[in-house]
Amino acid sequence: MKRKLIIATAVAALLTGGAVTAVTAAADDKPSKISSSTAVSTALKEQSGVVESVSLDDGAWEVEIADAKGASGADGADDADREVRVDAESGKVLGAERDDADDDDRDDRDDRDDVPVRDAKVDAKQAGAAAVDFRAGTVTDIEFDDGHWEVEIHAKDGAEHEVRVDAVTGKASASPSDD
């Protein structure tokens, strides 16, 4: 969607023959009235377990929750995974469904040899808070990966930052991929 808006703006600039300054924002970029922390709390009331990721997508927070025991099926897939969608404006649960992990998700879980999410001392809400303390802004995405949390922050100046939060100590640092 963002790409279409940028292309449309560029075409408009070419057609008018002048420089056009435009501010575009995809649905994911506009501020949410509901914080990631509130979305996590709401989702956990709907489905108990351990939060693996939280992301803002098309006006809703998508909260992926694994069984607190980390129960896995015979094929290694986490059969207990659920995705709960929380409206980013009202905070109401839009739905909850089984999260069918694709092969890439399964491969990522198998590669996590540092700390599994169920053993993390720092949960998604704490990781989001630590990331905001480190880099001011609004959390738009939190994901557990290889024993740490990757948190995306949208700063007031429009910049996007990635912050890494250690899943054991809660220490936040700039992610190696943060520019």
pLDDT digits (tens, 9 = 90+) for 40-91: 999 999 999 999 999 999 999 999 999 876 543 334 444 568 999 999 999 9
pLDDT of 121 > 80? The answer is yes
Phi and psi at residue 156, to the nearest 5°: -60, -30
The pLDDT assigned to 44 comes to 95
pLDDT-based confidence at 172, cuts 50/70/90?
very high
As annotated, the residues of the chain forming the CATH 3.10.450.40 domain(s) are: 36-174
Q: Which CATH class is domain 36-174?
A: alpha beta
120 with 144: CB under 8 angstroms? yes
The pLDDT assigned to 119 comes to 86
Task: Tell me if the pTM is above 0.85.
Answer: no
pLDDT-based confidence at 100, cuts 50/70/90?
low
Specify which of 96-105, 115-124, 126-135 reaches the highest per-range mean pLDDT: 126-135
The pLDDT assigned to 130 comes to 97
The pLDDT assigned to 116 comes to 81
Mean pLDDT of 11-35: 45
pLDDT-based confidence at 28, cuts 50/70/90?
very low
Ramachandran bin of 162, using left for φ above 0, alpha for ψ from -120 to 50, beta for the remaining angles:
beta
